Amino acid sequence: MQKVITITTSLQNGLYDITAEVTSIISQSKVKTGIASVYARGSTAAIMIQENWDQSVQNDVITLLKKIIPSGIWEHDHQDNNGDAHLKAGLVGASETIPITDYKPGLSTWQNIFFCEFDGPREKREIVVTIIEDR
Protein backbone atom coordinates (compact mmCIF):
# COMPACT_ATOMS: atom_id res chain seq x y z
CA MET A 1 0.00 0.00 0.00
CA GLN A 2 1.19 3.49 -0.79
CA LYS A 3 -0.33 6.89 -0.02
CA VAL A 4 0.83 10.49 -0.37
CA ILE A 5 0.50 13.06 2.40
CA THR A 6 0.34 16.67 1.16
CA ILE A 7 1.16 19.56 3.47
CA THR A 8 1.70 23.31 3.27
CA THR A 9 4.69 24.80 5.08
CA SER A 10 4.82 28.29 6.54
CA LEU A 11 8.50 28.60 7.52
CA GLN A 12 11.76 28.76 5.60
CA ASN A 13 13.20 26.19 8.03
CA GLY A 14 10.85 24.16 10.21
CA LEU A 15 9.80 20.74 11.45
CA TYR A 16 6.19 19.62 10.89
CA ASP A 17 4.77 16.72 12.87
CA ILE A 18 3.21 14.16 10.51
CA THR A 19 2.86 11.30 13.03
CA ALA A 20 -0.95 11.37 13.03
CA GLU A 21 -1.11 11.17 9.24
CA VAL A 22 1.36 8.27 9.08
CA THR A 23 -0.47 6.47 11.90
CA SER A 24 -3.75 6.84 10.00
CA ILE A 25 -2.23 5.33 6.86
CA ILE A 26 -0.84 2.40 8.86
CA SER A 27 -4.28 1.86 10.39
CA GLN A 28 -5.95 1.96 6.96
CA SER A 29 -3.49 -0.65 5.67
CA LYS A 30 -4.62 -3.21 8.27
CA VAL A 31 -1.00 -4.43 8.48
CA LYS A 32 -0.24 -5.98 11.89
CA THR A 33 3.51 -6.43 11.41
CA GLY A 34 5.74 -4.82 8.81
CA ILE A 35 7.44 -1.56 7.99
CA ALA A 36 6.38 1.92 6.95
CA SER A 37 8.72 3.87 4.72
CA VAL A 38 8.21 7.63 4.99
CA TYR A 39 9.87 9.58 2.16
CA ALA A 40 10.05 13.33 1.49
CA ARG A 41 9.75 14.30 -2.16
CA GLY A 42 12.06 17.18 -3.00
CA SER A 43 15.77 17.80 -2.65
CA THR A 44 15.37 20.52 -0.01
CA ALA A 45 13.24 18.54 2.46
CA ALA A 46 13.81 15.60 4.78
CA ILE A 47 12.21 13.22 7.28
CA MET A 48 13.33 12.95 10.90
CA ILE A 49 12.22 11.00 13.96
CA GLN A 50 12.55 13.24 17.00
CA GLU A 51 11.01 14.11 20.36
CA ASN A 52 7.79 16.12 20.44
CA TRP A 53 7.46 16.91 24.16
CA ASP A 54 7.55 20.60 23.32
CA GLN A 55 8.88 22.88 20.60
CA SER A 56 12.38 23.13 22.15
CA VAL A 57 13.95 20.07 20.47
CA GLN A 58 12.52 21.08 17.09
CA ASN A 59 13.88 24.60 17.55
CA ASP A 60 17.26 23.18 18.60
CA VAL A 61 17.43 21.03 15.44
CA ILE A 62 16.87 24.09 13.24
CA THR A 63 19.34 26.19 15.26
CA LEU A 64 22.02 23.49 14.97
CA LEU A 65 21.55 23.07 11.23
CA LYS A 66 21.67 26.84 10.67
CA LYS A 67 24.93 27.01 12.65
CA ILE A 68 26.68 24.17 10.84
CA ILE A 69 25.21 24.96 7.40
CA PRO A 70 24.78 28.75 7.12
CA SER A 71 23.01 30.29 4.14
CA GLY A 72 24.57 32.43 1.41
CA ILE A 73 28.04 30.88 1.10
CA TRP A 74 27.54 27.88 -1.19
CA GLU A 75 28.35 27.45 -4.88
CA HIS A 76 24.75 26.40 -5.61
CA ASP A 77 23.50 29.77 -4.28
CA HIS A 78 24.51 31.25 -7.67
CA GLN A 79 21.69 29.19 -9.29
CA ASP A 80 18.76 29.67 -6.92
CA ASN A 81 20.06 30.84 -3.54
CA ASN A 82 19.17 27.67 -1.61
CA GLY A 83 22.46 25.80 -1.35
CA ASP A 84 22.04 25.46 2.42
CA ALA A 85 18.61 23.84 1.99
CA HIS A 86 20.07 21.10 -0.22
CA LEU A 87 22.89 20.43 2.23
CA LYS A 88 20.56 20.30 5.27
CA ALA A 89 18.21 17.90 3.49
CA GLY A 90 21.11 15.69 2.45
CA LEU A 91 22.50 15.60 5.97
CA VAL A 92 19.18 14.72 7.63
CA GLY A 93 18.06 12.32 4.89
CA ALA A 94 15.01 11.90 2.68
CA SER A 95 13.39 8.99 4.51
CA GLU A 96 12.85 6.98 7.67
CA THR A 97 11.77 3.36 8.05
CA ILE A 98 9.47 2.68 10.98
CA PRO A 99 8.46 -0.77 12.23
CA ILE A 100 4.77 -1.59 12.35
CA THR A 101 3.84 -3.50 15.49
CA ASP A 102 0.27 -4.53 16.31
CA TYR A 103 -1.19 -2.24 13.63
CA LYS A 104 0.66 0.85 14.95
CA PRO A 105 3.96 2.60 14.29
CA GLY A 106 6.62 1.11 16.57
CA LEU A 107 7.67 4.45 18.02
CA SER A 108 8.61 5.03 21.65
CA THR A 109 6.59 7.33 23.90
CA TRP A 110 8.57 10.46 22.94
CA GLN A 111 9.23 9.74 19.26
CA ASN A 112 7.31 11.50 16.50
CA ILE A 113 7.76 11.68 12.73
CA PHE A 114 8.64 15.09 11.30
CA PHE A 115 8.73 16.52 7.81
CA CYS A 116 11.71 18.91 7.70
CA GLU A 117 11.32 21.98 5.51
CA PHE A 118 14.55 23.74 4.55
CA ASP A 119 13.37 25.83 1.57
CA GLY A 120 9.99 27.21 2.51
CA PRO A 121 7.45 28.37 2.77
CA ARG A 122 5.86 26.01 0.26
CA GLU A 123 2.25 25.69 -0.80
CA LYS A 124 2.61 21.98 -1.54
CA ARG A 125 5.00 19.41 -0.12
CA GLU A 126 4.51 15.67 -0.62
CA ILE A 127 5.47 12.78 1.64
CA VAL A 128 5.18 9.24 0.26
CA VAL A 129 4.26 6.57 2.80
CA THR A 130 4.78 2.97 1.68
CA ILE A 131 3.52 0.11 3.84
CA ILE A 132 5.12 -3.31 3.51
CA GLU A 133 3.63 -6.28 5.35
CA ASP A 134 5.77 -8.98 6.95
CA ARG A 135 4.45 -12.29 5.71
* Structural domains of the chain in order of their starting residue, each with its CATH number: 2-133 (2.60.120.460)
pLDDT of residue 86: 98
Burial tier of 75 (Cβ tally within 10 Å: 0-12, 13-18, 19+): exposed
| Residue pLDDT, tens place only, 101-128 | 999 999 999 999 999 999 999 999 999 9
Q: What percentage of the chain exceeds 90 in pLDDT?
A: 98
How far the first Cα of the chain sits from its last, in Å, is: 14
- CA–CA gap between residue 93 and residue 38 (Å, rounded): 11
| Residue pLDDT, tens place only, 37-53 | 999 999 999 999 999 98
- CA–CA gap between residue 131 and residue 135 (Å, rounded): 13
- When the pLDDT of each residue in the chain is averaged and rounded to a whole number, the result is 97
Q: Are 19 and 112 in contact, with CB atoms under 8 Å apart?
A: yes
